[in-house]
């Protein structure tokens, strides 16, 4: 009988954006998903390196442990083993086990059928006497297995490492590989291509899999009927679970009018795509929807659905959830529907910038649906593929290539980039490489000289993407169905969007009036970033030019000058590094000019609302929860924000608030606990006391 996965399994998309079916992308740190067999081989290697030969008197907790140990020893020494005999008693159960070399004994003679051609396959058994016999003893209710006989004398040649792995005992297709083989077979891949795909995914050379092509063929043939049953059951499960997901969306909408969702159906009236978002997320987008990251790196093995998640960053540097979508496929039209739906959810407001993975179909959809939005592919998304694409082809030269590739991010102009690119491609013989050509065709989306000056709001950093990865893995806990997944998304999104900001004292480092003024306006996250630039500004020299502009350079470096244009009448400042346009916070070069101009505080326009303290999200009560006494709750939020803002100005204030707040909260909590739990009980108690 066919079986289906017991949980909703999510893995990273591995199909390469180059479009070649043979090419897959592996991700650093994703060994659990992409190289299970490699891990098993590694663990076997580690255990065998420290292994000693079995000996008489050696003790094991179970006969299975003993068999595994002897099997690892045998593999290391060029042979395999099998179970020979066992003896049973009413008191002890199985109390003796015999393990022998796979060439032990002799094959019984077989009679050839008369009149038929019969292939006479020679037996490998040659009477080898290598063995390990075990006996079980029970002491104080604890069973142990002892080696009572051991011999490692063989009457045949032992195999080398590259030969022993091909023995039938070691040619096992692990569960992760079985799932992959079945999926590829269902997609119509022939056996030899399935083997090639597995080799590419694991980053190994041909013939290095722990099984042979004929093992894959036998596995597929034996499972063909099961595959068909599995496919039918999976389709049925998907239909049922998708309908339950829509029921959950409908129920959430009834309890929370701010919740939004939509879906499409195909020609057979079956659900294709489903998208949803929450009222809190829509409100958060109103404040922080200038930059959006659309993550499409995960899909469900169980349902064959691609997950898209829209995320942002708030003024405290925290990842915020805007919405998500489940898509039938990765076609451009599917992405287009997802983007249309998201903008509709967000009340027609388009982001200034959208960050995505490298995906031609998604790029085309953004061009069509978000024509006024700048599309950017972050460095993190690019570098996650570079190793997978070039480490094997370049071999020992990969480290040198990686260094050259990293230097491209410091190139100032697009013209210089193209010159350096051509030099790098020629140096490493990659002129006709499909991945190099793909990266170059996408250069306007990821090369710094092309995207400099577009708002990123501190999102294109490794720290941000690590936070995103943590958030995504939080919603990929073991899920039995899509409804459970939907509920987990709601829980994680609610927690993420209402995570408490830790109260912290912001230490002044420069004692410049600009710093003290910024401290009272910006959130700790934004202030720390501006403070870092302000500290570095003191290391730069400024040379005024005839037109009133300034050339800014580091006191130790004669190159890397920045041009800062200053328009006094309107107090406008523009730096050639375009940091303010990118992060929304002034750079060290512009700050140096303000210091020279004897400014005690920055002009108000250089404190963007997205980084101000007053733009913080309120501590809402969760999805679908409304307070009947909303006025006092909003007043509580206002006072809390003011308290945190005022307390962070000095260390003394911070310590005083922390000390007194703990006292007051503890007192209030104790008072509440002494109060009756319900009005009905209180009235009844009062009546009883009066009657008494």
Q: Of 392-401, 631-640, 646-655, which gets the smallest average pLDDT?
A: 631-640
Residue 573 lies in a domain: yes
Exposed, middle or buried: residue 48 (CB in 10 Å: 0-12, 13-18, 19+)? middle
Residue 347 lies in a domain: yes
Same domain membership, residue 566 and residue 461: no
Q: Which of 248-256's residues contact partners 24+ apart within 8 Å by CB, and which partners?
A: 248/483, 248/486, 248/487, 249/274, 249/276, 249/486, 252/276, 252/490, 252/623, 252/624, 255/624, 256/623, 256/624, 256/625
Structural domain that includes position 70? 56-105+121-163
The string of DSSP codes covering 488-501 is: HHHHHHHHHHTPPP
- At 204 the pLDDT is 79
Cα distances (angstroms) measured from residue 203 to each of 387, 401, 427, 605: 11, 18, 24, 52
Residue 227 lies in a domain: yes
Alpha-carbon span 165 to 75, nearest angstrom: 8
How confident is the model over 509-523, as a mean pLDDT? Answer: 91
User: In this model, does residue 685 exceed pLDDT 60?
Assistant: no
CA 653 to chain CA mean position, Å: 40
Q: Which of 308, 335, 311 is nearest to 459 (CA)?
A: 311
Phi, psi of 339 (to 5 degrees): -70, -40
Mean pLDDT computed over every residue of the chain: 83
Same domain membership, residue 522 and residue 487: no
Phi, psi of 650 (to 5 degrees): -130, 160
Cα dihedral sign, 453-458-463-464: negative
- At 215 the pLDDT is 87
Helix, strand, coil distribution of the chain in percent, nearest 5: 50, 15, 35
pLDDT band for position 691 (cuts 50, 70, 90): very low
Same domain membership, residue 385 and residue 402: yes
Residue that is written with structure tokens 């990969």 in the block: 398
pLDDT tens-digit map of 299-354: 887 788 999 999 999 999 999 999 999 999 889 999 999 999 999 999 999 999 99
Same domain membership, residue 321 and residue 242: no
- At 28 the pLDDT is 58
The two three-digit tokens of residue 591, written as one number: 């700050």
How confident is the model over 258-287, as a mean pLDDT? Answer: 93
| 670 compared with 519, residue with greater pLDDT | 519
Same domain membership, residue 595 and residue 518: yes
| 173 compared with 373, residue with greater pLDDT | 373
User: In this model, does residue 494 exceed pLDDT 70?
Assistant: yes
Same domain membership, residue 451 and residue 340: yes
Q: Of 22-36, 81-95, 350-364, 424-438, which gets the smallest average pLDDT?
A: 22-36
Residue 261 lies in a domain: no
User: In this model, does residue 36 exceed pLDDT 80?
Assistant: no
Cα dihedral sign, 166-170-49-35: positive
How confident is the model over 408-430, as a mean pLDDT? Answer: 94
Instruction: Using a pLDDT cut of 90, give the percent of the chain over it.
Output: 46
Beta bridge mates, 132:
99, 150
Q: Which of 540, 587, 597 is nearest to 566 (CA)?
A: 597
The residue out of 462, 491, 520 marking a domain boundary is 491
- At 592 the pLDDT is 96
Cα distances (angstroms) measured from residue 73 to each of 46, 67, 78: 12, 10, 9
Phi, psi of 689 (to 5 degrees): -70, -35
Mapping DSSP to helix (H, G, I), strand (E, B) and coil, where does residue 15 land?
strand
pLDDT tens-digit map of 115-167: 555 555 667 888 899 999 999 998 877 889 999 999 999 999 888 877 777 78
Same domain membership, residue 474 and residue 356: yes
- At 687 the pLDDT is 40
Alpha-carbon span 107 to 128, nearest angstrom: 12
Ranges of beta strands (E only) in 314-390 are: 319-327, 353-356, 374-377
Beta bridge mates, 135:
96, 146
| 490 compared with 325, residue with greater pLDDT | 325
- At 44 the pLDDT is 43
User: In this model, does residue 482 exceed pLDDT 80?
Assistant: yes
Establish how many alpha carbons lie within 13 A of residue 397's alpha carbon, considering only the half-sphere containing its beta carbon: 11
Mapping DSSP to helix (H, G, I), strand (E, B) and coil, where does residue 624 land?
coil
pLDDT tens-digit map of 601-650: 999 999 999 999 888 765 444 443 333 444 555 566 567 666 766 666 66
Alpha-carbon span 33 to 39, nearest angstrom: 10
- At 93 the pLDDT is 86
CA dihedral 507, 512, 513, 518 (to 10 degrees): -50
Cβ-count burial 661-674 (b if 16+ within 10 Å, e if not): eeeeeeeeeeeeee
Residue 497 lies in a domain: no
Residue 340 Rama label (left phi>0; alpha psi -120 to 50; beta): alpha
Same domain membership, residue 377 and residue 289: yes
Q: Which of 291, 319, 306 is nearest to 378 (CA)?
A: 291
Same domain membership, residue 417 and residue 288: yes
Residue that is written with structure tokens 């009905």 in the block: 680
The DSSP call for residue 468 is H
CA 676 to chain CA mean position, Å: 47
Answer yes or no: are the C-beta atoms of 647 and 613 closer than 8 Å: no
Query: How many domains does the chain divide into?
Result: 4
Q: Which of 561, 566, 539 is nearest to 551 (CA)?
A: 561
Alpha-carbon span 336 to 365, nearest angstrom: 5
Alpha-carbon span 184 to 200, nearest angstrom: 14
pLDDT tens-digit map of 549-566: 999 999 887 667 899 999
Alpha-carbon span 551 to 557, nearest angstrom: 13
Exposed, middle or buried: residue 222 (CB in 10 Å: 0-12, 13-18, 19+)? exposed
- At 631 the pLDDT is 55
The residue out of 613, 629, 652 marking a domain boundary is 613
Answer yes or no: are the C-beta atoms of 167 and 356 closer than 8 Å: no
Residue 578 lies in a domain: yes
Mapping DSSP to helix (H, G, I), strand (E, B) and coil, where does residue 387 land?
helix
Answer yes or no: are the C-beta atoms of 275 and 346 closer than 8 Å: no
User: In this model, does residue 588 exceed pLDDT 60?
Assistant: yes
- At 531 the pLDDT is 94
Same domain membership, residue 155 and residue 65: yes
Exposed, middle or buried: residue 126 (CB in 10 Å: 0-12, 13-18, 19+)? middle
Same domain membership, residue 454 and residue 315: yes
The two three-digit tokens of residue 272, written as one number: 């294709």
pLDDT tens-digit map of 174-230: 777 887 888 788 777 888 888 888 888 777 777 778 788 888 888 888 877 665 666
pLDDT band for position 24 (cuts 50, 70, 90): confident
Residue 42 lies in a domain: no
| 173 compared with 340, residue with greater pLDDT | 340
| 124 compared with 278, residue with greater pLDDT | 278
Answer yes or no: are the C-beta atoms of 473 and 489 closer than 8 Å: no
Q: Which residues contact 90 (CB under 8 A, 6 or more apart)?
A: none
The residue out of 578, 613, 648 marking a domain boundary is 613
Q: What is the pTM of this model?
A: 0.67
Same domain membership, residue 566 and residue 541: yes
- At 419 the pLDDT is 96
Residue 376 lies in a domain: yes
Pairing outcome for strands 291-300 and 353-356: parallel
- At 621 the pLDDT is 46
């Amino acid at each position: 009988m066919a079986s289906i996965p017991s949980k909703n399994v999510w893995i990273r998309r591995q199909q390469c954006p180059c479009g070649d079916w043979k090419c897959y992308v592996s991700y650093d740190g994703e060994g659990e998903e992409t190289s299970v067999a490699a891990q098993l081989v590694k663990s076997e290697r580690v255990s065998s390196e420290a292994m000693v030969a079995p000996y008489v008197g050696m003790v094991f907790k179970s006969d299975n442990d003993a068999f595994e140990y002897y099997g690892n020893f045998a593999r290391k020494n060029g042979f395999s083993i099998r179970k020979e005999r066992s003896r049973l008693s009413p008191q002890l159960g199985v109390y003796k086990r015999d393990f022998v070399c796979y060439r032990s004994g002799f094959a019984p003679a077989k009679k050839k059928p008369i009149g038929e051609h019969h292939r006479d396959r020679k037996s490998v058994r040659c009477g080898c006497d290598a063995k390990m016999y075990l006996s079980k003893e029970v002491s104080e209710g604890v069973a142990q297995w002892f080696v009572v006989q051991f011999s490692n004398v063989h009457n045949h040649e032992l195999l080398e490492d590259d030969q022993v792995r091909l023995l039938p005992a070691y040619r096992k297709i692990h569960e992760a590989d079985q799932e992959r083989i079945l999926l590829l077979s269902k997609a119509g891949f022939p056996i030899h291509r399935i083997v090639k795909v597995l080799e590419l995914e694991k980053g190994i050379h041909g013939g290095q899999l722990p099984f042979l092509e004929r093992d894959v063929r036998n596995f597929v043939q034996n499972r063909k009927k099961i595959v068909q049953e599995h496919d039918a059951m999976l389709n049925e499960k998907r239909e049922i679970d998708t309908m339950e997901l829509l029921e959950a969306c409908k129920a959430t909408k009834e309890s929370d009018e701010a919740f939004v969702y939509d879906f499409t159906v195909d020609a057979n009236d079956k659900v294709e795509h489903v998208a949803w978002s929450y009222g809190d997320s829509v409100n958060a987008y109103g404040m922080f929807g200038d930059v959006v990251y659309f993550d499409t790196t995960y899909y469900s093995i169980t349902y064959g659905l691609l997950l898209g998640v829209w995320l942002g960053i708030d003024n405290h540097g925290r990842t915020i959830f805007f919405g998500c979508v489940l898509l039938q496929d990765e076609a451009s039209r599917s992405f287009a529907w997802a983007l249309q739906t998201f903008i509709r959810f967000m009340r027609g407001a388009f982001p200034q910038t959208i960050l995505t993975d490298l995906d031609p179909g998604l790029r085309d959809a953004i061009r069509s649906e978000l024509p006024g939005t700048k599309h950017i592919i972050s460095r993190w998304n690019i570098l996650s593929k570079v190793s997978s694409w070039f480490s094997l082809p370049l071999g020992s030269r990969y480290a040198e290539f990686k260094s050259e590739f990293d230097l491209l991010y410091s190139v100032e102009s697009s013209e210089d980039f193209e010159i350096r690119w051509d030099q790098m491609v020629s140096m490493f013989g990659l002129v006709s490489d499909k991945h190099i050509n793909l990266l170059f065709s996408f250069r306007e989306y990821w090369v710094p000289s092309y995207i400099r000056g577009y708002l990123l709001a501190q999102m294109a950093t490794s720290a941000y993407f690590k936070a995103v990865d943590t958030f995504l893995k939080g919603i990929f806990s073991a899920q039995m169905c899509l409804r459970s997944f939907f509920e987990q998304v709601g829980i994680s999104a609610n927690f993420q969007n209402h995570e408490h900001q830790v109260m912290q004292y912001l230490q002044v480092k420069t004692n410049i009036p600009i710093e003290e003024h910024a401290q009272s306006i910006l959130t700790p996250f934004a202030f720390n970033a501006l403070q870092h630039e302000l500290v570095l500004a003191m290391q730069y020299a400024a040379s005024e030019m005839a037109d009133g502009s300034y050339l800014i350079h580091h006191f130790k470096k004669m190159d890397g000058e920045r041009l800062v244009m200053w328009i006094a009448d309107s107090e406008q400042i523009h730096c050639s590094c375009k940091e303010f346009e990118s992060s929304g916070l002034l750079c060290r070069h512009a700050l140096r000019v303000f210091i020279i101009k004897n400014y005690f505080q920055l002009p108000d326009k250089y404190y963007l609302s997205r980084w101000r303290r007053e733009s913080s999200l309120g501590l809402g009560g969760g999805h679908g929860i409304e307070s009947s006494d909303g006025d006092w709750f909003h007043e509580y939020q206002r006072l809390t924000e003011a308290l945190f803002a005022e307390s962070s100005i000095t260390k003394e204030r911070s310590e005083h608030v922390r000390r007194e707040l703990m006292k007051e909260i503890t007192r209030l909590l104790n008072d509440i606990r002494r109060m009756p739990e319900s009005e009905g009980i209180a009235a009844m108690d009062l009546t009883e006391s009066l009657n008494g």
